[in-house]
Chain A
Amino acid sequence: GNSVTQMEGPVTLSEEAFLTINCTYTATGYPSLFWYVQYPGEGLQLLLKATKADDKGSNKGFEATYRKETTSFHLEKGSVQVSDSAVYFCALSYSGGSNYKLTFGKGTLLTVNP
């Protein structure tokens, strides 16, 4: 079946450091790939997505590139801020008709210190 494996957390960085959170997936066919973020006390929000190989999703300074050859979708940001502290989830879905149910990784807690 489909699965998503994320880098184990927690990750602690200083402000302005470079961030990478690794994500790899196992799936048949060509899923769409997502990063969702959960800020403290808030619900899950879509951060970025990519729907086909070599697509790059980007938002709020975060980027991730859909790499079919390595089945990866690593999240990166060049300079993190304290406000980026949150739990990050990598996920995939298929457009099986209209059903876009998501398969999530376990999540990675990021803490950014001033």
Chain B
Amino acid sequence: GAGVSQTPSNKVTEKGKYVELRCDPISGHTALYWYRQSLGQGPEFLIYFQGTGAADDSGLPNDRFFAVRPEGSVSTLKIQRTERGDSAVYLCASGQQGVDTQYFGPGTRLTVL
């Protein structure tokens, strides 16, 4: 079946602009995670959804970052007033409820000029 998909695969924007990154999880997966991977680093947790609600947003770096999952499937990560330090690969992962295995998408590479 289809895996986790993320769009766009690449996004180049200018400092101060607003961006939206989309994640389509595996059908039926109720858990959805966003991570950020900076160059040369491992992925860092941003936010976790169980169904429609953000159950843990402790990894969001500041209030410029926000994510939604209105129907419990597709999720959108929104970044306002982008900064050059936001440049990274943003990864989405999904999983089944009660199971610790996560399935990752290919990521969106965000470049802020």
Q: Which residues of A contact B (CB under 8 A)?
A: 4, 32, 36, 42-46, 49, 51, 89, 91, 93, 95, 97-107
Cross-chain contact A45 with B104 (CB below 8 angstroms): yes
* CA A70 to CA B98, docked complex, whole Å: 28
Contacts of B93 in A (CB 8 A): 44
* CA A102 to CA B34, docked complex, whole Å: 10
Contacts of A49 in B (CB 8 A): 100-101
Give me 18 A-to-B residue pairs in the complex whose CB atoms sit less than 8 angstroms apart, sorted by A's number: A4-B42, A43-B91, A43-B107, A44-B93, A46-B103, A93-B100, A98-B50, A99-B50, A100-B31, A100-B95, A100-B102, A102-B43, A102-B102, A104-B42, A104-B44, A106-B40, A106-B41, A106-B42
Q: Which residues of B contact A (CB under 8 A)?
A: 3-4, 31, 33, 35, 40-45, 48, 50, 55-56, 59, 91, 93, 95, 97-107
Q: Which of A4, A32, A97, A101 contacts B33 (CB under 8 A)?
A: A101
Give the tally of cross-chain contacts (CB within 8 A): 64
Contacts of A91 in B (CB 8 A): 42
CB distance from B89 to the nearest CB of A (A): 10
